[in-house]
Amino acid sequence: MQILVSPYELSEQCRDWRAGGLTTALVPTMGYYHAGHEDLMRHGRGLAERLVVSLFVNPAQFGPGEDLGSYPRNAERDVAIAEACGADVLFMPKADAMYAQDHGTWVDVPDMAKRLCGQRRPAHFRGVCTVVLKLFLLSRAAVAVFGNKDWQQQAIIRRMVRDLNLPARIETRPAVREADGFALSSRNVYLTPEERAQAPEIYRGLRYAQELASRGEKDAGILRRAVLRRWAERLPLGRLDYLAVAHPETLEPVTCIGEPSLMACAVHLGKARLIDNILLYP
Ligand code: AMP
């Protein structure tokens, strides 16, 4: 596995592969790997002849007061994991190599970016789209792999790819979870033992809504309130950011579960802001 830090070198390497008729799969990450990242990498490994994994804590997707400075890092361990998962290149650029001091070009999907997580993180998805587009342009990837745990992110990237006619396919993978249902996230290290003990209630609440929907409850407001009541009892350390029911592709609000709908949430638990989601089937 090569470790590349220069965007130019990544571009040259991927251009050579392409000239040789080899396709590339891309897995963008911010590092501090867990089994969810490993699943994306191993899946990506099977999709193309070459696998590029990027490890970049992208400053553009963090807002003021967010955890850019304290985001967990362990480069040595991540290098070993990426290699074990079959990456041909691990791309680890410095921020100033990705963004010139006077960087001023942004890619945005504003209608989708303002919803769900975007209410509290107004510039987040603009930062995500911009860095992912740069990674597509550098890697010329034929396919990129994202996790459904960040549902809004993959929906926005699919839209960007369609709108800009990018010659790449997007694949998504289900969230990898702990045995108790809690979704793996690099930010889970922020949790105290007490917070960790309550954390599985996030997904249990979403599962409860899914069960009510499958038994015939179609009113998104009723489902939402049922989850909030359950969380009030069982997740007292949690502070709600949002809980919403939305169209899985457009992310527009849904009031009646007539077709499969997304229920998505963000909950603050101590220092961690945790997101999760589930599909509700009528
Ligand atoms: P991150 O490093 O957190 O920015 O995530 C990089 C990629 O891993 C994104 O596509 C995420 O959706 C995906 N990912 C994060 N957590 C999980 C998980 N628990 N299961 C599967 N994929 C995940």
Q: What is the pLDDT of residue 168?
A: 97
- Classify residue 51: in a domain, yes or no: yes
Q: Are 17 and 117 found together in one domain?
A: yes
Q: Are 115 and 191 found together in one domain?
A: no
Q: Are 160 and 201 found together in one domain?
A: no
Residue 170: band (very low, low, confident or very high) from pLDDT cuts 50, 70, 90 = very high
Q: Are 137 and 60 found together in one domain?
A: yes
Q: Are 168 and 192 found together in one domain?
A: no
Going from the Cα of 169 to the center of ligand 1, the distance in angstroms, rounded, reads: 18
Q: Are 151 and 217 found together in one domain?
A: no
Of 132, 120, 123, residue with least CA distance to 158: 132
Q: Which CATH number characterizes residue 115's domain? A: 3.40.50.620
Q: What is the pLDDT of residue 7?
A: 98
Q: What whole-number distance in Å separates Cα of residue 135 and Cα of residue 26?
A: 8
Of 143, 173, 203, which residue constitutes the final position of a domain?
Answer: 173
Element (H, E) at 196: helix 193-198
- Classify residue 108: in a domain, yes or no: yes
- Classify residue 180: in a domain, yes or no: no
Q: Are 145 and 217 found together in one domain?
A: no
Q: Which CATH number characterizes residue 241's domain? A: 3.30.1300.10
Going from the Cα of 146 to the center of ligand 1, the distance in angstroms, rounded, reads: 7
The catalytic residue among 37, 43, 124, 247 is 37
Residue 155: band (very low, low, confident or very high) from pLDDT cuts 50, 70, 90 = very high
Structural contact between residues 173 and 147, judged by C-beta atoms closer than 8 angstroms = yes
Q: Which domain holds residue 30?
A: 2-173
Going from the Cα of 19 to the center of ligand 1, the distance in angstroms, rounded, reads: 31
Of 173, 204, 233, which residue constitutes the final position of a domain?
Answer: 173
What pLDDT, in 10s, does the model give residues 57-87?
999 999 999 999 999 999 999 999 999 999 9
- The pick from 29, 170, 187 for probing ligand 1's pocket by mutation, whose C-beta has the most ligand atoms within 8 angstroms, reads 29
What pLDDT, in 10s, does the model give residues 114-126?
999 999 999 999 9
- Classify residue 223: in a domain, yes or no: yes
- The pick from 146, 187, 276, 277 for probing ligand 1's pocket by mutation, whose C-beta has the most ligand atoms within 8 angstroms, reads 146
Q: Are 85 and 209 found together in one domain?
A: no
Structural contact between residues 262 and 151, judged by C-beta atoms closer than 8 angstroms = yes
Count of domains for the chain? 2
- Classify residue 209: in a domain, yes or no: yes
Residue 135: band (very low, low, confident or very high) from pLDDT cuts 50, 70, 90 = very high
**Could you confirm whether 268 is annotated as catalytic?**
no
Structural contact between residues 124 and 113, judged by C-beta atoms closer than 8 angstroms = yes
- Classify residue 282: in a domain, yes or no: no
Q: Are 40 and 149 found together in one domain?
A: yes
- Classify residue 87: in a domain, yes or no: yes
Q: What is the pLDDT of residue 50?
A: 98
Q: Are 258 and 158 found together in one domain?
A: no
Helix axes 124-139, 7-19, angle to 10 degrees: 50
Q: Are 153 and 246 found together in one domain?
A: no
- Classify residue 178: in a domain, yes or no: no
Q: By three-state DSSP, how is residue 89 classified?
A: strand
Q: What whole-number distance in Å separates Cα of residue 177 and Cα of residue 26?
A: 23
Q: Are 41 and 149 found together in one domain?
A: yes
Of 173, 201, 232, which residue constitutes the final position of a domain?
Answer: 173
Q: What is the pLDDT of residue 185?
A: 98
Q: Give the nearest ligand 1 atom to 153 CA.
A: 12
Residue 225: band (very low, low, confident or very high) from pLDDT cuts 50, 70, 90 = very high
